[in-house]
Amino acid sequence: DAGVIQSPRHEVTEMGQEVTLRCKPISGHNSLFWYRQTMMRGLELLIYFNNNVPIDDSGMPEDRFSAKMPNASFSTLKIQPSEPRDSAVYFCASSTYRGNTEAFFGQGTRLTVV
Amino acid sequence: SQQGEEDPQALSIQEGENATMNCSYKTSINNLQWYRQNSGRGLVHLILIRSNEREKHSGRLRVTLDTSKKSSSLLITASRAADTASYFCATVLWRNSGYSTLTFGKGTMLLVSP
């Protein structure tokens, strides 16, 4: 398996623009996580899906952020409109068994909002 | 929210020496995991220790868990320059929803000099 695949690897966008980050989890994994990493706040859990259903989105910072998982092999994280403070590395991770086992991370998307 | 806190924030040692990193957390957990992150890369799972276990080994890694003190330690023996990375502990807590999520600390940056 190729592991968790995220795209794009890097994204530079202007403030106010819409940004869409994409994730393909490992086949057979039924749990998917979106994390955001910054120097100040570390790794923050944004949202957690199980069997394509959002279980916990309490970490989504505000209404500008939305996430979907239309099927077991694809998820998106959208920011609209983007702001400079959204600049961070966004990671997608997947695992089995309701998130109680090891998580496999993608390489991340480095987002810069100017 | 539940979160592990690693100590020290940064550690610098020579090749061949042992490296010890500590993690403290706040509430009861289901299991605790350690991850490694090389600069600019995604996190990689190292080891998982369940709440009813006290010690676990994997190659040059030794993890201990003291649930009475709510703390864990990661020992890397005979360190190598390739061990240079950031190390994170992650706590897993079952929620009333029947699911669990991984919550990360801010990590320890380890530098191993040749």
Chain A residue numbers touching B90 (CB-CB < 8 A): 103
- Domains of chain B (ranges; CATH) run 4-113 (2.60.40.10)
Per-block mean pLDDT, blocks of 10 residues, chain A (114 long): 92 97 96 94 92 92 94 97 97 84 94 98
Q: Which residue among A50, A99, A107 sits closest to B42, beta carbon to beta carbon?
A: A107
- Residues from chain A that touch B39, judged by Cβ atoms under 8 A, are none
| Closest of B15, B42, B77 to residue A23, by C-alpha | B42
User: From the list B45, B94, B107, which residue is nearest A42 (CB)?
Assistant: B107
Helix (H, G, I), strand (E, B) or coil at A9: coil
Q: With contact defined as beta carbons under 8 Å apart, do B87 and B107 qualify?
A: yes
* H helical segments located in B17-114: none
Question: Model confidence at B1, in pLDDT bands (50, 70, 90)?
Answer: very low
Sign of the Cα torsion A4, A6, B61, B64 reads negative
Euclidean distance between CA atoms B51 and A13, whole angstroms: 44
Q: Express each pLDDT in B7-17 by its tens digit.
A: 899 999 999 99
The answer to whether the CB atoms of B42 and A106 lie below 8 A apart is yes
